[in-house]
Amino acid sequence: MSRIKYERGISFDEQRQVYYLYMDSGRSEDGHRVRQYGTFPTLSAARKAQDDFLVRRARSKRVAPLDMTLAQWLEEWMKVIVIPNRAETTVYGYWNIIRNHMIPALGAIPLQRLAPKEIQRYYAELMQEKGLCANTVRRHHDLLSAALHAALRQELIPRCPTELVEPPRVIQKEAKFYDSENLKLLYQSLEGHWLEPSVHLAGSLGLRREEICGLRWSSVDFQQRRIRICQARTAAGAKIIDKETKNRSSTRVLYMGDEIYQLLLDEAQRQNSRKLALGEKWPDSGFVAVDRKGAPLSPNYLSMSFTRYIRRKGLPPLTFHGLRHTFATVASAQGAPLFDIGKALGHSTPATTGKIYTHLVDQLHTDTLAKVAAALH
């Protein structure tokens, strides 16, 4: 095969009519020369590829060697970047992943020598040996990728190794829900039970459990029959945190129908009676969802109590969050557009609603095709 050398690193193959580019990446950790090759249809394309390679190589050489392990960088990244800019619940979740999984598995590796194959092996071990699901391991990948991209921006590493691995594919879980008949049976079963107002807020208005636990009487307007959803109450481990709603779209105003109106009115009167009975022992927190002693309910307690109730009554299995899915399904069955359902749920875009509630989108497709078919007959 005859090749003509045009300039350093570039030659022309007369038989194949292509330009060959030879790129020297230096030596690997075991001392072997690392070479890369490429073929291009024109000389200008080969020169451009060579220029891009030289820029990348120069940039990588500017990264100063440092004695820092991945564990040390993750700790610094959390304290300097994450903690000042993220919600406390997010910080709690990150620390759990970092301290329980990443540091024991990868923490001792020098930051600049962390290789894609080590990350890929870490993902495989999480799934095969620790039994974590693909969606959970994907959260590990997203966290590690964010931390390493921050290191890249600060010129601590020459490249981000997570860009060269294949993370697990996210598996969209199918939402479980009741139909309108099962929801009616649940409501009838709950009459007079302390869970009744909370279940109705989730099943008839689509509220998240954190929004129910964070709802205050000051946000309930009985005259206008409006509920303003603007706060949430969530948990970071054993710590309960009062915060704003999930995002800007989650802050919304919802109308109270007769049933919700009466339930909340009865609950307000019940709490006033308990307050009179307990006197100073009643903690006037201002929350709608409280126990018999006036203490605000935690989201986890609300969920567990509902699950136990469902099992005890022999009702079809359903989580408390499943009531939110039930609201969306019943609303869709009554002809509500996906856009309006998403607004009531506090989603940022209709795409979010469609992604979570794929069964609604499938039903819309079925209805549309049926209407077209009917029009053609």
Rounded distance, CA 221 to CA 264, Å?
10
Q: For the domain 70-164, what is the CATH superfamily, name and number?
A: Tyrosine recombinase, N-terminal domain (1.10.150.130)
Q: Specify burial of residue 233 (Cβ count, 10 A radius: 0-12, 13-18, 19+).
A: buried
Taking 70 as the threshold, does the pLDDT of residue 272 lie above it? Answer: yes
The pTM (predicted TM-score) of the whole model is 0.70
All structural domains of the chain with their residue ranges: 3-62, 70-164, 180-321
Percentage with pLDDT > 90 across the chain: 52
Mean pLDDT (the chain, rounded): 86
Choose which CATH entry (2.60.450.10, 3.40.50.300, 3.30.460.80, 1.10.443.10) describes domain 180-321. 1.10.443.10
Q: 36-45, 95-104, 140-149, 217-226: which range is least confident on average?
A: 36-45
Angle at CA of residue 234, ends 229 and 235, nearest 5°: 180
What span, in angstroms and rounded, lies between the C-alpha atoms of 233 and 244? 8
Give the max Cα distance, the chain: 100
pLDDT reported for residue 374: 60
Topology alike, domains 70-164 and 180-321:
no
The yes-or-no verdict on residue 185 having pLDDT over 50 is yes
CA separation for the pair 214, 266 (Å, rounded): 19
